Amino acid sequence: MTSSIHNIEAVARDICSKQLLQHGGCGANPATYVDRYWHCVATELEAGLIDDNGELMSKPDFDKGLEVYRDWCLRHPESKKMT
């Protein structure tokens, strides 16, 4: 993930979009959902929970996921601003 560290938002948005399309969760306006959820994917990328393709790196751990999400929100409060 060395190259994507520098552009984590773009990579996270791309993965988020692909995951939403794959699971049929986009509805009429996929950009709205990507705007809402990209930071969750960025959190998982940064923590090494998923790879650059959005694939899980290890068995999902809810507590670890919540911990890294909270840490992301504290360090990047601007990423959660909703319009």
**pTM, 2 dp:** 0.71
pLDDT, residue 42, reads 93
Question: What CA–CA distance (Å, rounded) separates 74 from 21?
Answer: 29
CA angle (40, 10, 42) in 5-degree steps: 20
Q: How far is residue 18 CA from its own chain's centroid? A: 11
pLDDT digit string, tens, across residues 40-76: 999 999 988 999 888 888 887 888 888 988 888 888 8
The mean pLDDT of 27-47, rounded to a whole number, is 87
Q: Look up residue 70 and give its amino acid.
A: R
H-type alpha helices, the chain: 8-22, 30-47, 62-75
pLDDT digit string, tens, across residues 6-20: 589 999 999 999 988
